Amino acid sequence: MGKKTTYSKEFKLRAVRMYLEGNSGYLRICKELGIPDTKTIRLWVKNYRTTGMAGLEERRGKTKKFRGGQREKGNHTEELELQRLRAENAFLKKLLAFQRR
């Protein structure tokens, strides 16, 4: 897997301004600045129009999504704990019955 290039906010802003000022199109800006794909600049322009400078910040590695399977200790309700214990008991009963065969 190839390494992705990271551009500074100032570099992205320069490209976005070049486009918004109407002096250049996406392809010309790519050639001038050495950016391999026009989709990159299109995305920067879109993000800049919707959220301003915050849209040009690097977001890789800053996810705020909940990761399944990782639970925080101590935040379980009694109902969840009871449900987990019942499921564990049912599993152990099935395992015991299977071993007796």
94 domain-assigned:
no
Residue 47 lies in a domain: yes
The answer to the question of residue 1 being in a domain is no
pLDDT at 72: 56
Amino acid 31: pLDDT: 92
In a domain, 23, yes or no: yes
Is residue 87, in this structure, part of any structural domain at all? no
Q: What is the pLDDT of residues 31-51, one digit of tens each?
A: 999 999 899 899 999 999 998
DSSP-derived secondary structure for the chain:
-PPPP---HHHHHHHHHHHHTTS--HHHHHHHHT-S-HHHHHHHHHHHHHHGGGGGS--TT---PPPTT---TT---HHHHHHHHHHHHHHHHHHHHHHH-
With respect to residue 79, please indicate whether it lies within any of the assigned structural domains.
no
| pLDDT < 50 positions in the chain | none
Owning domain of residue 27 = 9-56
Q: How many domains does the chain have?
A: 1
Global model pTM greater than 0.75:
no
In a domain, 31, yes or no: yes
